[in-house]
Structure 1
């Protein structure tokens, strides 16, 4: 991972030649919009997908948080930390509540705390995460809307609960190989071929989840971070512009693959989705159980923490299988 990030961060400036003009998008939902394509949801669309649930089977699409979990520490971000603030024995010794030995020996007390980067584990990127030329989605500028306590616009607290049709696209299964090549860039043709084999069509407003198979290495940070596959610009443009999907997700570290496919942008997929198109996405998902059971279509339900001003928030997504009427 360190070698990869070094390559990304220190690309020779001589290569930084303009290719396609990039600029932040203006929202079709108005000048005050802070949630982009999540505006595609409505009470009617949510009810429509919920009414199709035919089973109580539930798939948890999130990973666990633990000390040593994969993280962006190579970029200088903090690793996940956990510590106990109260223990049963410590409460007896310290008597923090002033109630004495008898009470504290009878009533055990355990408390704990965590410290973490918001882009860890299963999380959703808010629209302020990446911008272009000093602005983020809908033209909000850092100079005007970024304070010492976070963004005043498009923070994670604005992200609504998400209920929509979900589709999982299983790339390894489509290619009959559980291990995609190192740094493999999933393209539109790959997505189309997988959907054909799964006999699934995308619909406007879908939540589309891309399985790379990387989640099976999640307990081993070195393997999870090492030259992982991801989606490319060609693929996301097909999903957003042609298929009009609402939200994206994947089971790898940062959705797109590295090193970057453009010389003038080290995260072209991130800026295209977040800054240009107002499309949020979910990273570090767990899609292995869906793949095992070949569940490709489902009701997708998720809600994130309301972290005011933050560029991301932990997300607990679930999938409930549906069957066409």
Structure 2
């Protein structure tokens, strides 16, 4: 009987929590579709770029390839690549009608891809996850989601991102190559790493979290196996207390599984995207930055402008600023 009472109490608490979870209303107005990226201004971008102290550019993206890690287990499509033209095939097919001699002289290769938008290094748009049928700023699936995608908060609305970037290397702070399986990064972990790195985060920053999972890329099974991630408490500290603008990490889902709440299977996603209007990047390649102990940099990145999409590939860059 006692166990039943505990289970009922837990269920009631979960229902009560779920009922309090509501999408956030933007302080930037009823038409806002980019949330905290509104913190960027010409002045803030110039400030980030003016501090550049090196010509070294760090590429923070991973390669795309057939067989790459992805959420195929949820039914999403794998990355597919195929050739549409080859030098020898062009000679045989003569698709341009210019004849064998011309097609032997001019070697023509063309190709195509098909992929899930949340594969590889990418950013989650604010329409990716919502609550109770709505996304950030109260836009609803009933009114704003058509057969060709969301009419609000799609990837095409995300502006080029230029800001101060900070790497928080949790793995190095703990003296390991990679955090333990399913580990959830705490506020104390963040503070200890920042103290070790002698750096602070603040309003308008792009903050990138290294778990060490990038060491396992591109091995599909190892990379996706029980990876560590950020806790809800930790993202709340960065968003509410530090005022950061954008987040990113080297794992595929940012948060860890199984979920830390029984009533929500992606509480970090819904808190950031739906409640606070904070986008984040996944599969960010942080290994070179970490190896060179580059903790502060000008962050530059822009996703593909995929109209209505819930996310898009991007190729972020980091240039040291001190």
- TM-score of the superposition, structure 1-length normalised? 0.94
Residue matched to 1:209: 208
Residue matched to 1:62: 61
Within a 5 Å distance, the mapping from 1:85-104 to structure 2 comes to 85-104=84-103
Report if the CA contact (8 A) 1:46-1:163 is conserved.
yes
Q: Using the alignment, how far apart are the partners of 1:157 and 1:296 within structure 2?
A: 30
Please say if 1:182 is aligned against 2:181. Answer: yes
Residue matched to 1:24: 23
When the two chains are superposed, the root-mean-square deviation of aligned CA atoms in Å is 1.0
Runs of 4+ that moved beyond 3 A: none
Q: Secondary structure at the match of 1:320?
A: strand
Distance 1:145 1:239, change over 3 A: same
Deviation for aligned residue 1:179: 2.3
Q: Secondary structure at the match of 1:308?
A: coil
Residue matched to 1:251: 250
Residue matched to 1:225: 224
Please say if 1:300 is aligned against 2:299. Answer: yes
Deviation for aligned residue 1:304: 0.7
Q: Using the alignment, how far apart are the partners of 1:204 and 1:280 within structure 2?
A: 15
Deviation for aligned residue 1:19: 5.4
Structure 1, unpaired ranges of 5+: 1-13
Q: Using the alignment, how far apart are the partners of 1:109 and 1:131 within structure 2?
A: 45
Residue matched to 1:261: 260
Report if the CA contact (8 A) 1:215-1:251 is conserved.
yes
Deviation for aligned residue 1:54: 1.1
Residue matched to 1:137: 136
Q: What's the CA shift string for 1:177-232, capped at 9, x where partnerless?
A: 11211100011110010000000011110000000010111110000000000001
Q: Secondary structure at the match of 2:102?
A: helix
Q: Using the alignment, how far apart are the partners of 2:285 and 2:190 within structure 1?
A: 19
Deviation for aligned residue 1:94: 0.6
- TM-score of the superposition, structure 2-length normalised? 0.95
Q: Using the alignment, how far apart are the partners of 2:217 and 2:173 within structure 1?
A: 22
May I ask how many residue pairs the two structures share in their alignment?
A: 310
Report if the CA contact (8 A) 1:164-1:205 is conserved.
yes
Please say if 1:150 is aligned against 2:149. Answer: yes
Q: Using the alignment, how far apart are the partners of 1:320 and 1:15 within structure 2?
A: 49
Deviation for aligned residue 1:167: 0.2
Q: What's the CA shift string for 1:17-70, capped at 9, x where partnerless?
A: 235321000000000000000000000000011110011000000000000000
Q: What's the CA shift string for 1:260-301, capped at 9, x where partnerless?
A: 000000000000000000000000010000000000000000
Structure 2, unpaired ranges of 5+: 1-9
Residue matched to 1:47: 46
Q: Using the alignment, how far apart are the partners of 1:163 and 1:253 within structure 2?
A: 23
Residue matched to 2:7: none
Q: Secondary structure at the match of 2:15?
A: coil
Report if the CA contact (8 A) 1:19-1:264 is conserved.
no
Q: Secondary structure at the match of 1:18?
A: helix
Residue matched to 1:170: 169
Q: Using the alignment, how far apart are the partners of 1:283 and 1:253 within structure 2?
A: 5
